[in-house]
Amino acid sequence: MIAIRRLAVATAILAYALIVLGALVRSTNSGLSCPDWPTCYGYWLLTPADFAALPYTGYTYGQVMLEWVHRLIAGVFLGPLVLVLLGVIFWRRRERPGLVAAGAVLLALLVVQKLLGGITVLDRNSPWSVALHLGNAMLVLATLLWIAVRASDVERSGVPSGIHHLAAVSWLLVIGAITSAAIVAKSGAALACSTWPLCDGALVPDLGDPLIRANFTHRVLAGLAALSLVVLAWQAARAGLPSGLVRLARLAAIVVGIEVLLGAVTVWGEIATVLAVLHQAVGVLVFAKVTLFWWRLRAASRPLPIEAGHGLALRGA
């Protein structure tokens, strides 16, 4: 199981890097610098000479390369690495048969991600397509983390059902906040609320403006996610969970605090590119932490598998 765990962790790190690179592509308005898919202006590798020979595109070669490298990492590195992981899971299926289902889910999500990547380009980077593309990427990351946890030896312990429910709600709120942030960025609503924490001085602004509505919805989801993670860390400590789980919950609460602060700074700094990318990078890190906590919580409360010989002995008793 060590090989599966290491492969899953390595693939998850690459997926995280790809999501952050996607934020850089979006923040620099490079998402449509390659207007076709899967090629870029009809080329698999667009050289500076090829780009110079094109009619005016409205983009720099640097923007084109950002989008091209994003596609390259997804297609040439992440995709094959996932296939290697799936191959090892299938090869070791007798030792951990439960991982086969997780591998099938991962493969399906990867296919959907490829299709969504094409739809995003062909639909001219519409807010809904970008949000779906990002949301599915988060599910890919979550599945990789689930495989890594299932391939590990997790300490079993009693877990109150309330902790499970709170972790699930926190997970949903975090992914909702991240995907709504993509809608805010692509719809041009990033500064629709020009002040923070109030929206233009109002606790609840006029929601008739769709840009203000998108911005305010993201703020509400982000605030609820932060609050739920703080409560989760407190409840994890009170419930007497294993120390590793408690530390993970506390770390998620700390990182989400940093994320909220970065959200405020991006408004005060008028959405500088570096701040916008850092904001998403930390947001995805929060998602990874709460996902790991939830997966490890589920694994800790699962019954230990019965050894084959032991099961036969019980049946013969």
Q: What is the DSSP string of 260-276?
A: HHHHHHHHHTT--HHHH
The answer to whether 287 and 259 are in contact (CB under 8 A) is: no
298 and 160 both lie in a single domain: yes
96 and 124 both lie in a single domain: yes
Q: Residue 261 to residues 138, 266, 290: CA-CA distances in angstroms?
A: 22, 9, 18
148 and 207 both lie in a single domain: no
61 and 208 both lie in a single domain: no
- What is the average per-residue pLDDT within 234-239? 91
Q: How much is the pLDDT for 314?
A: 30
8 and 135 both lie in a single domain: yes
146 and 165 both lie in a single domain: no
1 and 146 both lie in a single domain: yes
Decide if 209 is inside a domain: yes
**Is the bond into 197 cis (omega within 30 degrees of 0)?**
yes
Q: Output the six-digit token pair for 68.
A: 């091209």
Q: Would you place residue 290 in the very low, low, confident or very high pLDDT band (cuts 50, 70, 90)?
A: very high
- What is the average per-residue pLDDT within 258-262? 92
**Is the bond into 38 cis (omega within 30 degrees of 0)?**
yes
Structural domains in the chain (count): 2
Q: How much is the pLDDT for 119?
A: 87
Instruction: Examine the pLDDT at 113 and tell me if it is beyond 70.
Output: yes
Q: How much is the pLDDT for 158?
A: 66
The upper half-sphere exposure of residue 117, i.e. CA atoms within 13 Å in the direction of its Cβ, equals 23
CA end-to-end distance (rounded Å), the chain: 32
Q: Would you place residue 248 in the very low, low, confident or very high pLDDT band (cuts 50, 70, 90)?
A: very high
Decide if 314 is inside a domain: no
Q: Would you place residue 271 in the very low, low, confident or very high pLDDT band (cuts 50, 70, 90)?
A: low
128 and 271 both lie in a single domain: no
Q: How much is the pLDDT for 240?
A: 83
163 and 300 both lie in a single domain: yes
Decide if 268 is inside a domain: yes
DSSP label of 158: -
Decide if 45 is inside a domain: yes
The answer to whether 167 and 236 are in contact (CB under 8 A) is: no
The answer to whether 205 and 212 are in contact (CB under 8 A) is: yes
The upper half-sphere exposure of residue 125, i.e. CA atoms within 13 Å in the direction of its Cβ, equals 20
Decide if 121 is inside a domain: yes
213 and 201 both lie in a single domain: yes
Domain's final residue, options 96, 127, 153: 153
Domain's final residue, options 153, 178, 195: 153
Instruction: Examine the pLDDT at 315 and tell me if it is beyond 60.
Output: no
Per-residue pLDDT tens digits for 22-81: 889 888 888 889 888 888 999 999 999 999 999 988 999 999 999 999 989 988 889 899
The answer to whether 119 and 136 are in contact (CB under 8 A) is: no
Q: How much is the pLDDT for 167?
A: 95
Decide if 146 is inside a domain: yes
140 and 270 both lie in a single domain: no
Contacts 24+ apart (CB under 8 A), 265-274: 266/190, 267/191, 267/193, 267/194, 267/195, 267/196, 268/196, 270/191, 271/190, 271/191, 273/24, 273/27, 273/28
Cβ contacts of 297 within 8 Å, gap of 6 or more: 159, 163, 164, 167, 241, 245
- Position with higher pLDDT, 256 vs 23: 256
Q: Output the six-digit token pair for 221.
A: 């989801």
161 and 67 both lie in a single domain: no
The answer to whether 34 and 121 are in contact (CB under 8 A) is: yes
Q: Residue 282 to residues 16, 258, 286, 301: CA-CA distances in angstroms?
A: 11, 8, 6, 29
Per-residue pLDDT tens digits for 96-105: 778 999 999 9
Decide if 257 is inside a domain: yes
- Alpha-carbon gap, residue 63 to 191, rounded angstroms: 23
- Alpha-carbon gap, residue 310 to 248, rounded angstroms: 34
- What is the average per-residue pLDDT within 258-272? 81
Q: 55 lies in which domain range?
A: 1-153
Q: Output the six-digit token pair for 56.
A: 């005016």
Decide if 100 is inside a domain: yes
Domain's final residue, options 153, 179, 214: 153
Q: Report the Cα 160 to chain-centroid distance in Å.
A: 27
Q: Would you place residue 312 in the very low, low, confident or very high pLDDT band (cuts 50, 70, 90)?
A: very low
Q: Would you place residue 157 in the very low, low, confident or very high pLDDT band (cuts 50, 70, 90)?
A: low
